[in-house]
Amino acid sequence: MSITGSVAKFAVRNAMGTNTPNSGKKQQFNWNNYNFPPIIRIIHFDLTELPDGERLGVRCAFWSVNIMVITAVINFIMCIAAAAVAKGDYWKWLILSLINIIIFVMLHLFVTNFSYRAVALRNSTPILYYIGQALVCVLGFVYFLLPYIFFHGLISIGGKRPGNKTFWVVCPIIEAICWLGSIVLGVIAFILVTRDARKDSEPGAFESYA
């Protein structure tokens, strides 16, 4: 593009009062662009639309639930292994674990959506986000520590389980580390999202566009 064309384009942008998302002067949020999760696309989630200094909290919230879903998948694989080598009703673990994954995916969308909206819309009391993030931390702690049916908390290590004993030592530890990571990120997200959502913004600094 020629220098003249670049100058003209810059002049038009200034005349329209629009800036790039990272300019620090005006943030634009295309709420009509449903881009997350991939393929399904039912919510709008674009970290590049947030100011550079306000992305970390939302990113931590995103990964706190992302790790939770990943851990639920690991748990499902463990249940498959148990059902394959054991006699009895261990196949029921598969159903319960699969339901767990579905619930966590829904929680993922909930927390991701409301953490992003809390910061983007400057919601100083994002109650729905607080509820979702609190659930992530509470459930993460329960699964980290307690064994129950298809959960494999730290207390389950050394307990009676079907199959290889080493498997039932290593896998619960892996699960516990993941749950702990989810909890830590959830707490960090809670603090940062609350801080960023309460920041003052100049009138007109945030707007939506079709």
- What percent of the chain is predicted at pLDDT more than 90? 44
pTM, rounded to two decimals: 0.77
Specify the pLDDT at position 1. 46
Residues 51-67: what's their mean pLDDT? 95
* 25: pLDDT strictly greater than 80: no
Rounded to whole angstroms, the Cα distance separating 136 from 134 reads 5
Per-residue pLDDT of 69-84, as tens digits, reads 999 998 888 888 777 7
Residue 150, in any domain of the structure? yes
* Residue type, position 103, single letter: I
Residue 19, in any domain of the structure? no
Specify the pLDDT at position 137. 94
Specify the pLDDT at position 94. 83
Specify the pLDDT at position 88. 65
φ, ψ of residue 185 to 5 degrees: the values are -65, -35
Specify the pLDDT at position 3. 44
Residue 84, in any domain of the structure? yes
* 10: pLDDT strictly greater than 50: no
Give CA separation, 104 vs 64, 133, 134, 136, in Å: 11, 12, 13, 9
Per-residue pLDDT of 149-208, as tens digits, reads 566 777 766 666 666 677 777 888 888 899 999 999 999 999 999 999 998 654 444 444
Residues 51-78: what's their mean pLDDT? 93
* 65: pLDDT strictly greater than 80: yes
Residue 11, in any domain of the structure? no
Residues 83-106: what's their mean pLDDT? 82
* 9: pLDDT strictly greater than 80: no
Per-residue pLDDT of 116-138, as tens digits, reads 999 999 988 899 999 999 999 99
Specify the pLDDT at position 92. 78
Alpha-carbon Rg for the chain, nearest whole angstrom, is 22
91-120 and 56-85 helices, crossing angle to 10°: 180
Say whether the peptide bond before residue 37 is cis (omega within 30 degrees of 0).
Answer: yes
What's the total number of domains in the chain? 1
CA 116-126-199 angle, to 5 degrees, is 75
Give CA separation, 84 vs 78, 81, 107, 122, 164, in Å: 10, 5, 30, 50, 12
Give the bridge partners for 29, in sequence order.
208
Structural domain range at position 193:
53-199
Higher pLDDT, 76 or 2: 76
Residues 33-49: what's their mean pLDDT? 92
Rounded to whole angstroms, the Cα distance separating 156 from 152 reads 6
Tell me 85's DSSP state.
Answer: H
183 in Cβ contact with 189 (< 8 Å): no
Dihedral through CA 130, CA 132, CA 136, CA 142, nearest 10? 90
